[in-house]
């Protein structure tokens, strides 16, 4: 099971890297979304996919899933959710100001604005 | 004083508390300034008490919720983190005072001070935490606040550069999560002391070395190490000067601290490979920074590339893994935070009085603004490491450590880089302060010039005292160095039976 997950996560990372290297801001943001999905699935997989019961205390439960990675993922999800919301609004504002979503056209420094 | 075990949390909680309070007074600029000032002053006092406490009683550890050590989150304050927390609060306090005059009412009205205080919460938390995933969370706290600060104002250049800054940091944060996942699957724990014990038990197999290199990449992006500093020059040029001063003095140093911590606590069983990589990359960082510092005629860019050089010098010291190298690294780290803060504030004033950051358009400021010129000259000499000033002792110890460890070529490059640093900052002095005055300076308010000078001069004086008072600081630095060189002290303090 871990092997299949590893391959799926690898494909997610591959797609994320491909999208992040593209020119359009929206594609890049979709890429970061896929990247965080991959990272979160990786925590789940690396914690081990053993355990039959969910980590909830109940009578007769002895073999339960590792609760720690689930807590880590929950934390990482809300953080990446917050950052993604911010970056989407930022992309919207940047599009409004610069009139382009092409990263290649967003160069320049102090002297050449 | 048994009831003061929470002291090490105060520099984290107090800025957080005041940041929340500030959210309620959005339009009231006076309250914003007053509460930000009070909050930082109180936190600074707490941090100074913390340093005294760590000096007398040794490493301070608190396990949140009283769960025993590897199971709960531990906060650990050794001398290194206590000193870094104090320096952070000191610089932030002075930058906030500088902001009163320079940042402008529009930004002050839109959560400028709360964002700074949230960022300081993250920085201090990252310096103090004893749990690797908690360190990730504090990194995110400081990064999200820094996203707000870098884009606040919404100018065209800021929007463009923030997109790049945020993208780079989102990717490096994802890498950090991935690295923690790998580390967790190998050692099965997140507590940093416990990780160190578990790694020593398995004797650093190949996979741990791979994780070590991954960590170097993650923190190398945060701390702008070669070849991962490509994002820094563009991003740091975008925000206004007080924000730039905070970023330049604090943010990259959190990455450096994380490398120092992990490379002296976790990955110490195969230092032939991992620390060799760190050594080579730090030398290349210095060279890359030197090229950038000489290439530009823009005052901001020159000092920004000097950040990169200093990161290389500190990591070069750490890579030696001997007493002189590491204590030199710590000396240089704190010196660099102070002096970068001072230099950014000073060039902020230069930009304010000349109305440009282009060196070719400046000249003759010595005739009109002599105190600014002398202060800048002292800061410039301090940065280069001229003996009575602050940069000297750190670099001396780093080079001594490197000669002890036999990296002769590296030490020569470090020494040569000092000359390049001096040349790059003196070039600003010659172009801006000597020569014929430029035809017309923009009309500036003399009162706000003087108000901006006060925090800048205080920072320069502090850095001079730091250089002159080296003798007095040595016991503190020795404590910090001992913990880094002997991880058992750290582990015993956290995992006490």
Domains of chain A, CATH where assigned: 2-108 (1.10.287.3510)
For residue B177, give the nearest of A43, A97, A103 by CB distance: A43
Closest CA to B85 of B55, B56, B125, B57: B125
H-state helical runs in B323-390: 323-354, 365-368, 370-384
**Residues of B near A (CB-CB distance < 8 A)?**
133, 136-137, 140, 144, 147, 151, 154, 156-157, 159-160, 162-163, 166-167, 170-171, 173-174, 177-178, 180-182, 184-185, 190, 234, 237, 298, 300, 357-358
Q: Measure Cα distances from A24 to A19, B155, B273, B325 in Å.
A: 9, 21, 40, 46
C-alpha torsion sign, points B265, B341, B10, B172: negative
Interface test with B, best of A20, A37, A109 (most B CBs within 10 A): A109
Looking at residue A80, what is its pLDDT? 94
Q: Which residues of A touch B133 (CB under 8 A)?
A: 72, 75
Q: Which of B167, B300, B358 sits opposite A28 (nearest CB)?
A: B167
* CB atoms B144 and A35 under 8 Å: no
Q: For the segment B3-45, what is each residue's pLDDT rounded down to a tens digit?
A: 578 899 999 999 999 999 999 988 899 999 999 999 999 999 9
Spatial separation of the C-alpha atoms in residues B479 and B325, rounded to whole Å: 14
Contact call for A42 and B300, based on CB within 8 A = no
| Domain that includes residue B135, residue range | 7-495
Asked whether residue A26 carries a pLDDT value surpassing 90, the answer given is: yes
Q: How many Cβ contacts (< 8 angstroms) between chains A and B?
A: 104
Q: Is the dihedral of CA B12, B14, B18, B20 positive or negative?
A: positive
The span from the CA of B233 to the CA of B309, in Å, is 12
Q: In terms of CA atoms, which chain A residue is nearest residue B234?
A: A109
pLDDT at B439 over 80: no
Residue B199 contacts residue B187 (beta carbons within 8 Å): yes
Please indicate whether, in this complex, the C-beta atoms of B177 and A113 are within 8 angstroms of each other.
no
Structure confidence by residue, pLDDT tens digits, B37-75: 999 999 999 999 999 999 999 899 999 888 888 899 999
DSSP state of A52: S
Q: What average pLDDT does the structure give for chain B?
A: 92
Neighbours of B73 (CB within 10 A): 18
Contact B177 A91 (CB under 8 A): no
B439/B441 Cα distance (integer angstroms): 7
Would you tell me how many other CB atoms lie within 10 Å of the CB of residue B81?
27
Closest CA in chain A for residue B170: A32
How close is the nearest chain B Cα to the Cα of A61, in Å?
Answer: 21
Q: Does A19 touch chain B (CB under 8 A)?
A: no
Task: Say whether B74 sits in a helix, a strand or coil.
Answer: strand
| pLDDT at A111 > cutoff 70 | no
* A47 min Cα distance to partner chain B (Å): 6
Per the domain annotation, does B187 fall within a domain?
yes
Which residue does chain A place closest to B164, by CA atoms?
A103
What's the pLDDT tens digit per position in B331-369?
999 999 999 999 999 999 999 998 888 888 888 888 888
Residue A21 CA from chain centroid, whole number: 16
Tens digits of per-residue pLDDT, A63-84? 888 999 999 999 999 999 999 9
DSSP state of B437: P
The two tokens of residue A11 are 């494909």
Chain B residue nearest residue A81, CA to CA: B170
Q: What mean pLDDT do residues B121-130 have?
A: 96
Q: Which of B178, B241, B303 to mutate to test the interface with A (most CBs of A within 10 A)?
A: B178
Q: What number is the average pLDDT over the span B276-295?
A: 94
Q: Contact B484/B260 with Cβ under 8 angstroms?
A: yes
Nearest to A94 among B144, B163, B173 (CB): B163
pLDDT at position B497 is 56
Hey, are the CB atoms on A111 and B358 less than 8 Å from each other?
Answer: yes
Asked whether the beta carbons of B239 and B304 are under 8 A apart, the reply is no
Q: Which of B140, B154, B185 sits opposite A79 (nearest CB)?
A: B140
pLDDT beyond 70 at B474: yes
User: Whats the size of chain B, residue-wise?
Assistant: 497
- The span from the CA of B144 to the CA of B242, in Å, is 18
Q: Note the pLDDT of residue A110.
A: 47
The shortest CB-CB distance from A109 to any of B133, B167, B234 is to B234
Q: What is the DSSP letter of B442?
A: P
Q: Is B1 domain-assigned?
A: no
Residue A84 CA: distances (Å) to CA of A36, B14, B110:
10, 28, 21
Separation of alpha carbons B342 and B378, rounded Å: 10
Confidence grade of residue A113 (pLDDT, cut at 50, 70, 90) = very low
**Within a domain: residue B140?**
yes
Is the pLDDT assigned to residue A4 strictly greater than 70? yes
pLDDT tens column, B96-110: 999 999 998 889 999
Q: How confident is the model at residue B316 (pLDDT cuts 50, 70, 90)?
A: very high
Q: Measured between CB atoms, which of B133, B144, B151 is closest to A83?
A: B144
Nearest to B319 by CA among B393, B229, B414: B414
Stretch B204-223: mean pLDDT, rounded? 93
Classify residue B6 as exposed, middle or buried by CB count within 10 Å of its CB (0-12, 13-18, 19+): exposed
Task: Determine phi and psi for B191, rounding to 5 degrees.
Answer: -70, 130
- Average pLDDT taken over every residue of chain A: 90
Partners of A42 on chain B (C-beta within 8 Å) are 177-178, 181
Out of B140, B156, B174, whose CB is closest to A35?
B174
Omega into B227 within 30° of 0, i.e. cis? yes
Residue of A nearest to B300 (CA): A110
ipTM over 0.90: yes
Answer whether A83 sits within 8 Å of B140, measured CB to CB.
yes
Answer for the pair B397, B327: CB distance below 8 angstroms, yes or no: yes
pLDDT, mean of residues B70-89: 94
| Closest Cα in chain B, distance from residue A60 (Å) | 24
8 Å CB contact of B174 and A32: yes
What are B214's two structure tokens?
Answer: 């991954």
Kindly report the pTM of this predicted structure: 0.95
Q: Is the pLDDT of residue A41 over 50?
A: yes
Tokens at A53, concatenated: 């019961």
Per-residue pLDDT at B128 = 95
Q: Flag whether B397 is in a domain.
A: yes
What's the rounded Cα separation, in Å, for the pair B355 and B442? Answer: 6
pLDDT band at A107 (very low <50, low <70, confident <90, very high): confident
> Which pLDDT belongs to residue A108?
66
Radius of gyration over alpha carbons of chain B, in Å?
Answer: 22
Is residue B2, in this structure, part of any structural domain at all? no
The number of folded domains in chain B is 1
> Mean pLDDT, to the nearest integer, of A7-28?
96
pLDDT at B436: 81
First to last CA, chain B: 22
| 8 A C-beta contact, residue B142 and residue A93 | no
- Residue B236's nearest CA partner among B311, B302, B333 is B302
Residue B157 and residue A108: Cβ atoms within 8 Å?
yes
User: Nearest CB to A97: which of B144, B156, B358?
Assistant: B156
pLDDT reported for residue B3: 58
Query: Side-chain half-sphere of B247: how many Cα atoms within 13 Å?
Result: 30
A104 at the B interface (CB within 8 A)? no
Q: Residue B188 has which token pair?
A: 């099965």
- Give me the pLDDT at residue B269, please: 86
Is residue B405 in a domain?
yes
| Low-confidence winner among A102-111, B173-182, B259-268 (lowest mean pLDDT) | A102-111
Say yes or no to pLDDT of B272 above 90: no
């Amino acid at each position: 099971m871990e092997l299949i997950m590893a391959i799926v996560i690898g494909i997610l990372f591959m797609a994320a890297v491909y999208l992040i290297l593209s020119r359009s801001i929206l594609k890049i943001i979709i890429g970061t979304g896929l990247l965080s999905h991959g990272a979160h699935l990786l925590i789940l997989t690396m914690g081990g996919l053993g355990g039959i019961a969910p980590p909830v205390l109940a009578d007769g439960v002895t073999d339960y899933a590792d609760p720690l990675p689930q807590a880590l993922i929950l934390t990482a999800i809300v953080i990446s959710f917050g950052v993604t919301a911010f970056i989407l609004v930022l992309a919207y504002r940047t599009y409004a100001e610069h009139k382009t979503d092409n990263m290649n056209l967003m160069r320049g420094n102090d002297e050449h604005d | 004083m048994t009831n003061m075990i929470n002291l090490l949390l105060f520099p984290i909680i107090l800025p957080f508390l005041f940041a929340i309070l500030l959210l309620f007074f959005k339009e009231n600029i006076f309250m914003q300034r007053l509460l930000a000032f009070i909050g930082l002053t109180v936190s600074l006092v707490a941090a100074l008490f913390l340093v005294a406490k760590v000096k007398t009683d040794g490493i301070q550890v608190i396990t949140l919720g009283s769960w025993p050590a590897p199971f709960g989150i531990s906060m650990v304050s050794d001398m290194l983190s206590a000193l870094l927390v104090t320096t952070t609060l000191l610089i932030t306090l002075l930058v906030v005072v500088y902001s009163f005059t320079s940042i402008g009412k529009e930004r002050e009205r839109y959560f400028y001070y709360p964002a700074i205080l949230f960022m300081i919460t993250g920085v201090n938390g990252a310096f103090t935490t004893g749990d690797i995933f908690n360190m990730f969370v504090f990194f995110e706290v400081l990064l999200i606040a820094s996203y707000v600060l870098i884009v606040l104002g919404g100018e065209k250049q800021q929007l463009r550069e923030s997109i790049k800054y945020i993208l780079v940091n989102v990717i490096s944060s994802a890498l950090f999560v991935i690295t923690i996942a790998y580390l967790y699957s190998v050692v099965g724990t997140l507590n940093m002391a416990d990780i160190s014990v578990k790694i020593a038990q398995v004797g650093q197999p190949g996979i741990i070395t791979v994780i070590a290199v991954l960590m170097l990449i993650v923190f190398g992006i945060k701390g702008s190490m070669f070849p991962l500093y490509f994002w820094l020059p563009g991003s740091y040029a975008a925000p206004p000067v007080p924000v730039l001063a905070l970023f330049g003095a604090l943010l990259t140093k959190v990455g450096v601290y994380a490398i120092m911590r992990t490379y002296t606590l976790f990955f110490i069983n195969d230092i032939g490979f991992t620390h060799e990589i760190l050594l080579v990359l730090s030398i290349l960082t210095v060279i890359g920074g030197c090229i950038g510092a000489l290439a530009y005629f823009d005052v901001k860019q020159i000092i920004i590339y000097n950040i990169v050089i200093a990161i290389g010098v500190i990591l070069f010291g750490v890579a030696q893994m001997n007493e002189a190298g590491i204590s030199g690294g710590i000396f240089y780290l704190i010196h660099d935070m102070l002096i970068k803060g001072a230099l950014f504030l000073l060039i902020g004033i230069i930009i304010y009085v000349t109305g440009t950051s282009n060196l070719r358009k400046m000249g003759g400021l010595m005739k009109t603004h002599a105190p600014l010129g002398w202060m800048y000259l002292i800061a410039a000499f301090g940065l280069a490491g001229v003996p009575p000033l602050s940069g000297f002792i750190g670099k001396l110890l780093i080079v001594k450590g490197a000669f002890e460890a036999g990296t002769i070529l590296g030490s020569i490059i470090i020494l040569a880089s000092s000359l390049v640093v001096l040349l790059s900052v003196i070039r600003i002095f010659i172009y801006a302060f000597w020569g014929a005055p430029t035809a017309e300076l923009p009309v500036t308010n003399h009162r706000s010039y003087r108000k901006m000078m006060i925090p800048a001069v205080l920072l320069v004086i502090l850095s001079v005292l730091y250089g002159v008072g080296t003798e007095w600081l040595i016991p503190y630095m020795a404590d910090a160095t001992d913990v880094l060189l002997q991880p058992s002290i750290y582990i015993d303090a956290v995992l006490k039976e």
